[in-house]
Structure 1
Amino acid sequence: MLLKDKVVLITGAAGGIGTAAAKAFANEGAKLALVDLNEDALKKVSGQVESSDILLVPADVTKEDQVKNYVDKTVEKYGRIDVFINNAGVNGANATITEQQEKNLRFVMDVNFFGAFYGLKYVLGVMQEQKSGSVVNTASNGGWLGAPGMSVYAASKHAVLGLTKSAAIEMAPYGVRVNAVAPGATNTDMMRRIESNAVGEENVEEAKKAFEAAVPMGRYATPEEIADLMVFLASDKSSFIDGTMVRIDGGMSANSAQ
């Protein structure tokens, strides 16, 4: 097992990628601390994970005191945090920049940027003291590409990449690595919302076909494929990978000059 008895903290654990990550890390022998806004959904996830050592902490990642609490609870139970999957995120409403509403702007940035930042602030403090740890932030292919109608989401994921690079440089002297995964279209509830936002609920199948056609491999990623990459980046198998964004998008990035 790649992560036997390691303590893995996962935010957004009740979402598609978060749930897949919880299962994947449990299969590698990890002890889990799972965080999500929805307590009932967390309990459902815990019933799907093959592990007897799971801490569930309902929390709103946009609230700094609640972030500090989920970190404190994890350390209180396990004494350390070896891996942080900084995964909670939202896509928000589709609108052009000229039609964007302040409510949506603040909602997306609060979760995707401030939520990620607060998580790093408190988890990195723990890892710095123990002089070890691995962080995997969830970015997106929207972290390096523009996304018409999703400017706020794209901007928030660009910000996650900036956090990743800065944190990696700051924490390298302490033996702590910080990387990011950048999924493309992935078969999750978030993708269902993106499809619906793009064309309306009555045409989601048409949107799905169009989105899949834009992927060179011709399909969406599965949450399990994203989770497998997270496990690799969290483990000692990637011990010299730091400050990097790893794209996992079925070849879409091959069309980009970046």
Structure 2
Amino acid sequence: MLDDMCVLREAVRDYRLAATAAGLDWPDYGESPAGQPPEQVHRIFDVERIAEQLTWLHAQRWPDRQVLPDVGWRMPWPEDGDALQYLGLSIGTPFPWRQQLPLFFFDVVLYTFVLAGDHEGEIWRYEISPDAWDSVRAATSLATLFDQWTRGIAAGVVVYDEQSRWLLVEDVDGVNGLDPLAFPVAPVEETLLRARQRECGVDMAIVEDGFTYTEELSDAIDAAKASLGA
């Protein structure tokens, strides 16, 4: 879902405050206006509009370092169709594979923002593995995701590492109020994963035959890139 902008601003602010209290160096640069996405973004992802929630998040000044849990970083606006390669594991989703933007990149997981339709504003996650096929919703919205990370810091499972100067995720399973799928850890406990996939509308038949559908998706990505001149 698309967050109320006041709710999103508060969630991102609370995460920054929690992260800095934990030890992360993240100055307050003040808020920047949302602005507009580059024109090519509409063509790359085949959408007519880009939600304000996403353009606002992209417009905010962040330090030139990883400030997200487990060395995650906010990906820049894509420049061309090569960005579609990031979507090569998004099989079985209940929305068109192309209508999501790669947003947060972690060591083992990619998070995307759904750009249109009934699932607009949701955050989906894909384990970066050649045979995982674990398409699943990480959070119902951006604010929900940041709130989970803030709660993780408060619960002591997202901790600041003095040596690396990063926020690192420890074991979140079984911690009251925390959703393991909101955190960039892998693999996820299979019972939880499959239940969430069914809950959020993943086509489980496609997941079960992941290799075949991954090849089909790869062909579709190549065709989309060719249409963009990439």
Question: Do Structure 1 and Structure 2 share a fold, with TM-score over 0.5?
Answer: no
Report which of the two has the higher share of helix: 1
Q: TM-score, normalised by structure 2?
A: 0.31
Q: TM-score, normalised by structure 1?
A: 0.28
Higher relative contact order (CA 8 A, sep 6+): 2
